[in-house]
Structure 1
Amino acid sequence: MKAISYSRYGGPDVLEYGELPEPKVGPDSVLIEVRAAAVNPVDWKCREGYLDGMFEAVFPVVPGWDVSGVVVRPGVAVTEFAAGDEVIGYVREDFLSRGTFAEYVAAPVRTLARKPRTLTWEEAAGLPLAGLTAYQVLTKALRVKRGETVLVHAAAGGVGSLAVQIARHLGARVIGTASESNHDFVRQLGGEPVAYGAGLVERVRGLAPEGVDAAFDTVGGDALQASVTLLSPEGRLSSIADPDVLTYGGLYSWVRPDAEDLQQLSELADQGVVRVHVSDTFPLDRAADAHRLNQTGRTRGKIVVTVPRNSL
């Protein structure tokens, strides 16, 4: 099969396009014919070796954890899916090796849900990791309730844009930080945008004088410090970007594969509650360019790599 892989840590130039063996399918996994795979910041962080202390790399590593595609062969013990089923997945295992930037991926059923009928392959591929992150932080870490005010940092980004929509669905008021060029986009999602930079704390306080009930930090550093300052006396804080959140009594959140949560997201997409904005798409052989663009940190929504049918 054609795939993207890297045999050593490094920049985007270590990514190679070529032939790799088709992955083996375990008893509790399915073989998926990939239609699209989304790019996430964790992909290039893994590629550059920043997470080497957390994940063992079995080279060559095929990057990518997000996928949308079609089941072509279920494992011998799989009852949840059959050949021909359209699925999405956050295909994260406890090591780096067989990712989703390939024509085929073997995915444990615990990482999968049925693809939303209303989303394109590209949109569906952008939902799992970012959507699960937003959903799990808001419902499990921050326990957002109706009527509360939630601060979401980087509200136009992949995780942030979904967090705004999910928080609104939960009945919360959402204040979202974003560059001024993305303010209309944040408003379309249901959030109240505020600009980054100097004066952020004062701008948010102008909208929420008594503080915010929950803050969702996706940036770290100054954004985390601002969040601490802006919390109400009983406010809750969670970060996916900065472990220092623990020193302030907050929670450091790392998204987990969860088939039930992912199915819930799929249903929310079909109900029109959440939508996935795809800013850019790249063919599989240009995955390095997709990594480069994602690494700038200045994208709206998701960047997606596509695998055309005629290459399979």
Structure 2
Amino acid sequence: MRAIQFVRYGPPDVMHVADVQAPHAGRGEIRIAGRASGVSPGEIRVRSGEMRDVVPVTFPFRTGFDAAGVVDEVGDGVTGVDIGDEVFGMTTSAARGANADFAVLAAWAPKPASWSWEEAGGAAGAVETATRVLDRLAVGAGYTVLVQGAAGGVGTVAVQLAVARGATVIGTASEHNHDFLRSLGAEPTTYGAGLPERVRALAPSGVDAVFDCAGGALPDLIAIAGDPARVVTIADVTAAAHGVHMSHGAPADDTAAVVGAAADPLAVHGLAIAVTLAGEGRLRVPVAAAFPLSDVVAAHELGESRHARGKIVLVN
């Protein structure tokens, strides 16, 4: 089968399609014939070598955490899903390999009828990550939460999930994305110098929690929250130096886990919540662009630009 991998650090053109042996579903797993899969911002940073000191890598490195497709193999002990079902879900962080013709999923849910394959292919990782961080921050009704980097793949989902919990959401993005953020239910503002003052004007009573999807602004985000314990980042590897929690969902013994970050329990319950919200028309997965597997280099180039609005996906 075809699968995306890289064998050395470098620019996007180190990514390539390889011919590899197809995986099979183990106990508690399913295999899908993939229709679409997500391009992970974290893996873009790993591929570039930016994360080499904090994320151990063994080459060849196969990419992809989330995918959607049709079930074609059901492992022992699995109930409630049959061959031919349409699902979306995620691999283990150790196995990865979702950017491929076939992917083994460790967590999944039925594909919402309202979602395209592209939306479903990029959904699970963003949903799990956003749910995990919002749970850690205890975001609920009456909260005011700032989402830094709100127009990206995780940020767009985090905004909608926080709104669904009854929170007031402020989201940072480039000005041309402000109307888009309003359509998701957030009050937009620009990032960069002067952010604490802009947020204070929008939330005079203060901000209860900050979800950092972008990195690079922790001192300002701590000032906005008033306490580093009320800030969680998924993007800033300097978090520990600021007393901020950096969240990842890898098992504690996963050698691909981020060194110095604490593994939080995977929020796979978020997948079922996403299905419900999608059915109610309250959750969509904005897709910035969809590329065929053979155009993975172009997909990584777009991701590296950091100007993608929503999720970048690969289609089979």
Using the size of structure 1 for normalisation, the TM-score is: 0.88
Do the aligned partners of residues 83 and 304 (structure 1) sit closer, same or farther apart at CA in structure 2, a change above 3 Å counting?
same
Deviations 1:160-210 (A, max 9, x none): 111111111111111111111001001111111111222222111111223
1:118–1:269: 8 Å Cα contact kept in structure 2? yes
Contact 1:24 1:106 in 2 (8 A): yes
Q: For the Cα contact (< 8 Å) 1:149–1:212, is it kept in 2?
A: yes
Pairs aligned (count): 300
Q: Does the aligned pair in 2 maintain the 1:37–1:64 contact within 8 Å?
A: yes
**Unaligned stretches of 5+ residues in structure 2:** 251-265
Who is 2:99 aligned against? 101
Find the aligned partners of 2:152 and 2:26 in 1 and give their Cα distance.
35
The question of 1:122 aligning with 2:131 is answered: no
Shifted more, 198-207 versus 291-300: the winner is 198-207
Q: What CA distance in whole angstroms lies between the structure 1 residues aligned with 2:159 and 2:210?
A: 12
* Identical aligned residues as a percent: 43
Deviation at 1:145, TM superposition (A): 2.2
Work out whether residues 55 and 94 of structure 1, in 8 Å CA contact, stay in contact via their aligned partners in 2: no
In structure 1, the residue matched to 2:275 is: 266
- TM-superposed deviation, 1:249: 4.7
Q: Within 2, Cα distance between the matches of 1:34 and 1:259?
A: 20
Secondary structure (helix, strand or coil) at the match of 1:87 reads strand
- 1:55-134 to structure 2, matched below 5 A, reads 55-57=56-58, 59-95=59-95, 99-108=97-106, 111-134=107-130
RMSD (Å) for aligned C-alpha atoms: 2.1
Contact 1:4–1:15 under 8 Å retained in 2:
yes
1:174 corresponds to which residue?
169
Post-superposition CA distance 1:72-107 (Å, at most 9, x none): 011233224220111111213325xx5111111122
The Cα of 1:247 is off from its aligned counterpart by 4.9
CA distance in 1, matches of 2:176, 2:105: 38
Give the C-alpha shift of residue 143 in structure 1.
0.3
Unpaired runs of 5+ residues, structure 1, are: 308-312
Distance change (3 Å), C-alpha of 1:261 and 1:133: same
Q: Distance in 1 between matches of 2:105 and 2:238?
A: 33
Which residues of 2 match residues 20-35 of structure 1 at below 5 A?
20-35=20-35
1:149 alignment counterpart:
144
Structure 2 vs 1, CA of residues 168 and 48 (structure 1 numbering), >3 Å: closer, same or farther?
same
Residue identity matched to 1:122: E
Whose strand fraction is larger, Structure 1's or Structure 2's?
1
Q: Normalization by structure 2: what TM-score?
A: 0.87
On the 8 A contact 1:141/1:251 being kept in 2, the answer is: no
Q: Identify if the C-alpha distance between structure 1 residues 234 and 63 changes in structure 2 by more than 3 Å, giving closer, same or farther.
A: closer
Instruction: Summarize the Cα distance change of 1:234–1:64 in structure 2 as closer, same or farther, 3 Å threshold.
Output: closer
- Deviation of 1:121 after TM superposition, in Å, equals 0.6
Q: CA deviation at 1:47?
A: 2.6
